[in-house]
Amino acid sequence: MGCLLKGGGGLYARVAVGAVLLAAGAGSRLGHRPKSLLELGGVPLIRRQLIALSGAGIDEVVVVLGHHADAIEAAVRDFPVTLVRNPSPDDGQASSVRIGLQALAGKLDAVIVALADQPLVNAQDISALIGAFKKRGTAAMVVPRVGGEPGNPVIFEAALRDEWLAGDVNAACRRWRGEHPERVHWFDTDNTRYRIDIDTPEDLQRFVERTGHTLRWPVVMAQ
């Protein structure tokens, strides 16, 4: 688990990485169904994300639930993760990020914030992001960028977690990135997996057109 950071003449420090996986949304543009339970090859997207994080050696994972919490929990309860619920998920993604950061219990060097509705992000993609974090220089956050557009997941120094939790609930991630561009390292890549997530029926159709694969709802949710 975890990674080793190269420096100077050898390996000198293990990087402990935690992750907050966001799965609290209502899926309002997809018939109010949980996007994270869409299936690719019969496997729910949220389970694919958890497998990717595990395969990349992430030390601790917190899954933030909100809308559809019972159904999503049933799909992931066999994973060794911490499940927390956002009592007010309609307050926005920043509120879920905050709850997830509060629930991380371990001593960490870095934190990843990931989305539960990214169909194609795999362990190699997470490992590449961690690799970019190791090479970030003096930056505090690393964000993948594809064709000039930001992607997900993102990774940042654990010290930012404490900074955000001590301040405004909305101060995390995207807003912080906009206010502190000098502390952001852009991980430029042609890996489009970082840019693909599912929000609308049009996203589902584009996914089929781009990949040749179909995302399907579980039988109990199909309409």
Q: Given a cut of 70, is residue 31 above it in pLDDT? A: yes
Q: What average pLDDT does range 92-113 have in this prediction?
A: 94
Is 24 a member of any domain? yes
Residues 215, 35 contacting (CB under 8 angstroms): no
Q: What is the mean pLDDT of the chain?
A: 91
Is 113 a member of any domain? yes
**Separation of alpha carbons 58 and 69, rounded Å:** 23
Per residue in 193-219, pLDDT (tens digit) is 999 999 999 999 999 999 999 999 998
User: What pLDDT was estimated at residue 167?
Assistant: 84
Is 223 a member of any domain? no
Q: Given a cut of 80, is residue 158 above it in pLDDT? A: yes
Q: Given a cut of 90, is residue 172 above it in pLDDT? A: no
Looking up residue 128, the CATH number of its domain turns out to be 3.90.550.10
The residues that bridge with 204 in the sheet, in sequence order, are none
User: For the chain, what is the domain count?
Assistant: 1
User: What pLDDT was estimated at residue 221?
Assistant: 74
Residue in the block written with tokens 């993609």: 125
Q: Given a cut of 70, is residue 184 above it in pLDDT? A: yes
Q: What average pLDDT does range 99-111 have in this prediction?
A: 95
Is 7 a member of any domain? no
